Amino acid sequence: MSGVNGVVTGAAGALGRAVVAELVSQGHTVVSVARATKDVEAFEEAYPGAVVGEAADLTDPDAVDELWQRLDSRDEQIDFLVNAAGGFGGGSLVESNPGDYRHLLELNLDTAWWSSRAAARRMRESGAGGAIVNVAARSGLEGGAGSIAYAVAKGAVVKLTQVLAAELKQSGVRVNAVLPSLIDTPANRAVFSAERMAKAVPPQAIARVIAFLCSEDAWPISGAAIPVYGRS
């Protein structure tokens, strides 16, 4: 496969799948990264010739480095990275335990940290610029009771975005984040009321914002944390 344009992590999730579909519809070719091999194979079957599937544990820095070394062997320019890997967990500080706390930080912050490190090194060295888009969350800015470890992790993703944007500014690599509130997914529909879900944002709408941030049309934007709250 030639002409791979970018990498999408968390590609098996509802938002990740929408991002892959949107980018492919715009003519991009994509490396779709998921933890399970079955998800990787499903992507390649769904988008023959447009998607390369890769399985990796993105919480493991060694596994991330090995993934990007495999991408290096294809000798293709990676123009953008979308960090859509992550996951939600509830709970308060006083009820928290070390395992749940570390899991949510690894799932939401570490995955973005290690993947951004690998991409930023290559984009900076290539001299061709590029784009990194992180998926944070509204609670990462505003807080709110009930999901403290998740909110802290997503808040750290916002700060990672801002600092990395400053670090890479002179290299022409742009770093931005989108901040969803409530996404219209089957999992959320099983939990939240119909009234609340009526205000949820479809993942396809968020995917279009992400695709724009990956594009050259977004060249003036870096270090931004963009709300995609819809009406919620």
- In this structure, are residues 64 and 98 in contact, taking their beta carbons and an 8 Å threshold? no
Domain assignment present for residue 195? The answer is yes
The whole domain housing 43 covers 6-228
pLDDT of residue 169: 95
Q: Along the chain (232 residues), what's the average pLDDT of each consecutive run of 10 residues? A: 81 96 96 93 92 96 97 90 93 90 96 98 94 96 88 97 97 98 93 92 98 96 97 81
Rounded Cα distance between 165 and 35, Å, is 27
Q: Please report, for residues 1, 30, 56, 130, 211, the alpha-carbon distance to residue 40 in angstroms, rounded to integers and kept in the order given.
A: 16, 12, 10, 24, 21
pLDDT of residue 213: 98
Known catalytic membership, residue 101: no
pLDDT of residue 1: 43
- CA nearest 51: which of 102, 5, 13, 14? 5
Rounded Cα distance between 51 and 158, Å, is 28
Domain assignment present for residue 21? The answer is yes
CB atoms within 10 A of CB 142: 12
Domain assignment present for residue 1? The answer is no
Q: Which entry of 47, 101, 150, 229 is annotated as an active-site residue?
A: 150
Number of domains in the chain: 1
CB proximity list for 206: less than 8 A, separation 6 or greater: 15, 18, 178, 180, 183, 228
Domain assignment present for residue 83? The answer is yes
Rounded Cα distance between 93 and 91, Å, is 7
pLDDT of residue 88: 87
Looking up tokens 């002409």 gives: 3
CATH number for 192: 3.40.50.720
- In this structure, are residues 177 and 109 in contact, taking their beta carbons and an 8 Å threshold? no
- Pinpoint the alpha helices (H) of the chain: 14-25, 37-46, 61-73, 98-105, 111-126, 138-142, 148-168, 186-189, 194-197, 203-214
Domain assignment present for residue 203? The answer is yes
Domain assignment present for residue 10? The answer is yes
pTM attached to this predicted model: 0.95
Domain assignment present for residue 209? The answer is yes
